[in-house]
């Protein structure tokens, strides 16, 4: 019987020379690398995502696979949801006015909503500012 191994086990067994330091949280992402486990905010801001087009491999803008990726979609706003200005949404989250139980949002511009989601704890639990990409000017918020 063949034993399957995750990336961490592979590195430890076959590439100990890599000596990759990582946090427990990051190790969990790599160990259980499939949709449902969130990338770090920095990775999301840099354009990394679990790509459904590539068997849920993590890809980023510099990867060749990103050229054929259709995962991140921008669609015109619909009548569903509330369009927050980014600064106002962050302010409400930091003040405790929005929590994960209340709903979720998607990164957005003034005219379009992206397929990238965000929950209040992504921002509230950070000591420093969340690294939003420059194109994100709004959050399309969906109440529960």
Q: What is the pLDDT of residues 97-112, one digit of tens each?
A: 999 999 999 999 999 8
**What is the average pLDDT value for the chain, to the nearest integer?**
76
Dihedral of CA atoms 73, 138, 118, 79 in degrees, nearest 10, equals -70
Contact 96, 61 (CB under 8 A): no
Residue 117 has pLDDT above 90, yes or no: no
Nearest-angstrom CA–CA distance, 7 and 10: 5
Contact 136, 86 (CB under 8 A): yes
């Amino acid at each position: 019987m063949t034993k399957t191994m995750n990336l961490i086990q592979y590195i430890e067994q076959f590439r100990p020379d890599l000596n990759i330091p990582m946090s427990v949280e990051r190790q969990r992402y790599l160990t259980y690398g499939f949709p449902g486990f969130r990338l770090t905010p920095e990775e999301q801001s840099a354009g990394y995502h679990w790509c459904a087009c590539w068997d849920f491999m993590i890809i980023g803008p510099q990867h060749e696979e990103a050229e054929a990726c259709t995962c991140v979609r921008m669609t015109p706003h619909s009548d569903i949801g509330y369009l927050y200005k980014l600064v106002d949404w962050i302010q409400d989250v930091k003040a405790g006015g929005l929590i994960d139980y209340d709903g979720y949002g998607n990164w957005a511009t003034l005219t379009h909503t992206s397929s990238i989601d965000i929950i209040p704890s992504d921002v509230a639990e950070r000591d420093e500012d969340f690294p939003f990409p420059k194109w994100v000017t709004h959050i399309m918020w969906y109440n529960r």
